[in-house]
Amino acid sequence: MRYLVRTSYNGAGFNGFQYQMEGRTVQGEIEKILQRMHKVPVRIHPAGRTDSGVHAREQYFHFDTDLNIPEPKWQHALNSAMPGDIAIHEVRRISPDYHIRHHSEGKAYRYRIYQGDIRDPFEKGLKTYYPYPLDEDRMREAMQHFVGTHDFTSFSSAKSPIENKVRHIYRFDLIRTENGYDFLIIGSGFLYNMVRILVAYVLEVGQGRWEASRTPQIIEAKDRTLVPKTAPAEGLYLERVFLDEASRNQALEKYNLIH
């Protein structure tokens, strides 16, 4: 039987999602619990990995099991064993030929910064501190240039082995918060480090280091060296994974995706 699990986690205490020999990872913690229940190793398959320090408000994974636990009991069974920084929101049985990597219809990411004269100890690990003055209009102008279908070579890690760097961005919004800004981006898919590079670039535009109107040229150049910065991991949240077009379209209609 294959089960699909909706989870969230606070990335501050993890060396990323993917299992490693050394260091605490989300996959490692979850597989340890499944192994304890099954007495044999159980592999989980996520919608996507997240890097060290990156959070997920919504992430999916699936796993196969022979355990005779009724579907409605799984959530509690898993939650009662999970550490405090991973939560299980839903567990449902799916077809044994379903594979999340092939069925998801895009993702939403949120990047959170806060401003102010000094660092806030209670934002540590949760938002990126960015004390420099920002021009909202310039940022919004730059962000709109990314909406649509583009080759994101200039805005992805040069280390990525993926050859096709064309992706579709549905929305890229700037949201004023209590003490800073959230950047919310919805796309068909994202290249390695792409959100963190886009945000680093938009912040530099907001500071006046780049002209927003030059953005199309930088995209066109397909040259990663033009945009050398990557925003820190601690501000990044995987916000939604869209399992079908309907849920993606619904999200696109709403301004604020927090649910």
What residue numbers does the annotated binding site cover? 109
Least Cβ distance, residue 113 to its own copies (angstroms): 14
If the CB atoms of residues 175 and 226 are measured against its own copies, the closer one turns out to be: 175
Name which of 18 and 79 has its Cβ closer to its own copies. 79
Smallest distance, Å, CB 75 to its own copies? Answer: 8
Q: Assess contact for 126 and 67: CB atoms under 8 A.
A: no
Q: How far apart are CA 3 and CA 121, in angstroms?
A: 39
Q: Which is nearer to its own copies, 82 or 175 (CB)?
A: 82
**What's phi and psi for 143, nearest 5 deg?**
-60, -35
Interface residues toward its own copies, by CB under 8 A: 8-10, 13, 55, 75, 79, 82, 84-89, 118-122, 124, 126, 129
Which residues are annotated binding-site positions for substrate?
109
Burial of 109 (0-12, 13-18, 19+ CB in 10 A): buried
Of 40 and 118, which CB lies nearer to its own copies in the complex structure? 118
Whether residue 51 lies in the annotated active site = yes
Nearest 10 degrees: Cα torsion 210, 214, 216, 218: -60
Burial (CB count within 10 angstroms: exposed 0-12, middle 13-18, buried 19+), residue 101: exposed
Residue 237: CB minimum distance to its own copies, A = 9
Minimum distance, C-beta of residue 147 to its own copies, in the bound complex (Å): 29
Q: Which residues are catalytic?
A: 51
